[in-house]
Chains A and B, each alone.
Chain A
Amino acid sequence: MSNKIAVRVENVVKSFTGGDSRVFALKGASLEARFGEILMIVGPSGCGKTTLLSVICGTLKFEEGQITVFDKDLGTMRNGEITRFRRENIGFIFQQFNLIPTLTAVENVSIPLILQGKSRTEAEKRARAVLEQVGLGERFKSYPNQLSGGQQQRVAISRALVHEPRLIICDEPTAALDSVSGHKTLELLKASALKPDRCVIIVTHDSRIYPFADRIVQMDDGHVIGHFDDHTQIQHA
């Protein structure tokens, strides 16, 4: 882990309107994520974790504050620039995997490269290499429904890593897995995703995976209420 900041979030406010009411999901949240670390954002349901993750990766606009990712100020970027920025710099691991059921593992994994304009042959060659790294070299032609939950998450991890992004965003990566698979997934993520020039941000409320975090940020009611360097502290906080 280095001290170089990859993501800086300062006093970010985000609200949603529903009818006449306006609900604040983020009420001035701030955090920093460094290169070479796994940062976990934890907290109870509805505290704003996923919203914070969404504004960090630019899939949601925020109203106030500042978010800087790799020294780029997301607040000043246009939609097209943010889309391109995501395509080139961010890898996603979703709670429900979001693997396309009608595409094979290798086709699913090749999508980020195809979005970057790589040829199908080149993309699938690279995708197969990454699938082999995560132990799915024999299953690259399998469809998602032919794979176990743990294997599907490994495909999802491969898809997040295949284009060598500098930021990996994980939304509840173990929520759909049993404890053993969840543990293995985090081991794999730590082994394959974590590099000195890369930052991994995980949103979770699965306390069993806290030990994999380098740092933990605790949220409640739209605020960041604590930063912890040791997972044991959060459990006693």
Chain B
Amino acid sequence: MLNIALKMLFRDRAKYAMLVCGLAFCSLLMCQQSSVFCGLMMWTTATVRNIGAPVWVVDAKVEQANEVIPMRQIEVDRVRSVQGVAWAVPLYIGIEQARLGDGSFQNVQVVGLDTGTLTGRPMNMKAGRIEDLRLPDSVVVDQVAVEKFRRKGIKIELGTTFEINDKSARVVGICHVSRSFLGQPYIYTTYDRALEYAKPSRKQLSYVLAAPMPGISAEELATRIDKLDGLRAIASDDLFWMTIRWYIKNTGIPISFGTVVILGLIVGVAIAGQTFYLFVHDNLRFLAAFKAMGARNSTLAAMVLAQAFSVGFIGYGIGVGLAAWFGNTVLAKEAPPFFMPWQVPAFVACVILFICSFSALIGLTKVMRLEPAVVFR
């Protein structure tokens, strides 16, 4: 009878199309918005992921990765003095102003890597060599800088020069890294040169990057460093989630995206629930005929459930497919942010399952109460 049930559904084209469109739209809305939200959250952790150090040491008041409270240079040595530290290097990150060849300005995020080891270097070099950062005035720019400068009519290539706070910068490499939350280009240079680019200040150290000796976990090392006065040490994974939690708690981003996801749910329940109710209602006479002919309640329930879940499955597939297509399209442009972890389609599947169950339940209450004798009225 399931085959019969599906034929009854698929051949009622208007209601079938309405149901599938409603559920597809609902899936698309929830999946796309959740993925953009996840993408945005990934942007907030770009620095942590780009640098990739096991342990981050920051000022004790820092709450998330993008918050920089400068520390004294001596903190590097204090961290190195902790038992279990394999190495510890300084890292500078600060927003500076770059002046382009045509006189226009662009805010950039200068990343000063430890001069000796270049720890935290970008892994994906599109042009040039990261080691060339040791040459005078040299910087490595990311793909966002290339794009932003191109929009201003300046072509960035190896050898291009511009100024950062009136000091010369020469491009020796182009890399591809995760873009930052604020969308400012990353400009990599050495730690010492970064301090030259930065405005003079008593404290200039942004982070101390550290790694544990073999046999010690990053979390354990972080706990040990944490005991130093005025410092906070966080394992990379913890900093990643701490940053995301901070943005969720302290910005309106989740409310904004959450509202759209809830709207998707409401639209899905309203359209699918109502249309499915009408579909069952229109077929009640025939379901009563089936009942009179000897169909059990369980058979009719299976038919209604098969109808509800088949439109749910198809609508979900179309919606998630469209969201993935959208994601694939925007990923090429890297904006807007888009990241679809498996949890997003799984979450949307659960919501669609709920909508279908709700719709089926409405129909089933009618079917279960149905008197087969109504077929004679």
B293, A86: Cβ atoms closer than 8 Å: yes
CB neighbours of A96 from chain B (8 A): 285
CB neighbours of A115 from chain B (8 A): 1, 290, 293-295, 299
Q: B11 contacts the other chain (Cβ, under 8 Å)? A: yes
CB neighbours of B196 from chain A (8 A): none
Bits for A196-224, please: 1 = Cβ < 8 Å to B, else 0.
Answer: 00000000000000000000000000000
Contact among A54, A98, A114, A116 for B285, CB-based, below 8 A: A98
Q: For the complex of A and B, list the 5 residue pairs with the smallest distance between their C-beta atoms, beginning with the closest.
A: A87-B294, A102-B11, A59-B372, A59-B373, A98-B289
* Total number of residue pairs linking A and B with CB closer than 8 Å: 74
Number of interface residues of B (CB under 8 A): 24
Number of interface residues of A (CB under 8 A): 30
CB neighbours of B289 from chain A (8 A): 92, 94, 98
B7, A107: Cβ atoms closer than 8 Å: yes
Q: A151 contacts the other chain (Cβ, under 8 Å)? A: no
Considering only CB atoms, which chain B residue lies closest to A91 in the complex?
B293
Bits for B274-292, please: 1 = Cβ < 8 Å to A, else 0.
Answer: 0000000000011001111
Q: A60 contacts the other chain (Cβ, under 8 Å)? A: yes
CB neighbours of B371 from chain A (8 A): 59-60
A100 to B12, CA, bound (A): 11
CB neighbours of B377 from chain A (8 A): 50
Q: A95 contacts the other chain (Cβ, under 8 Å)? A: yes
A50 to B3, CA, bound (A): 32
14 contacts between A and B (CB under 8 A): A60-B373, A83-B294, A85-B294, A86-B293, A86-B294, A102-B11, A103-B7, A111-B4, A112-B293, A114-B1, A115-B294, A115-B299, A116-B294, A120-B3
CB distance from B274 to the nearest CB of A (A): 20
CB distance from A169 to the nearest CB of B (A): 9
Q: A59-B371, A83-B294, A86-B294 are in contact. Are A102 and B8 (CB under 8 A)?
A: yes
Q: A86-B293, A107-B4 are in contact. List 4 more A-B contacts (CB 8 A).
A: A87-B293, A92-B375, A102-B7, A111-B290
A109 to B373, CA, bound (A): 20
Q: B376 contacts the other chain (Cβ, under 8 Å)? A: yes
A53 to B286, CA, bound (A): 19
CB neighbours of B1 from chain A (8 A): 114-115
A114, B375: Cβ atoms closer than 8 Å: no
A180 to B292, CA, bound (A): 29
Bits for A179-194, please: 1 = Cβ < 8 Å to B, else 0.
Answer: 0000000000000000
Q: B296 contacts the other chain (Cβ, under 8 Å)? A: yes
Considering only CB atoms, which chain A residue lies closest to B299 in the complex?
A115
A3 to B47, CA, bound (A): 95
CB distance from B372 to the nearest CB of A (A): 4
Bits for A122-138, please: 1 = Cβ < 8 Å to B, else 0.
Answer: 00000000000000000
A98, B375: Cβ atoms closer than 8 Å: yes
CB distance from B316 to the nearest CB of A (A): 23
Bits for B349-377, please: 1 = Cβ < 8 Å to A, else 0.
Answer: 00000000000000000000001110111
A112 to B12, CA, bound (A): 22
Considering only CB atoms, which chain A residue lies closest to B286 in the complex?
A100
A102, B12: Cβ atoms closer than 8 Å: yes
Among A56-108, those with CB < 8 Å from B are 57, 59-60, 80, 83-88, 90, 92, 94-96, 98, 100, 102-103, 107
A171, B376: Cβ atoms closer than 8 Å: yes
CB distance from A99 to the nearest CB of B (A): 8
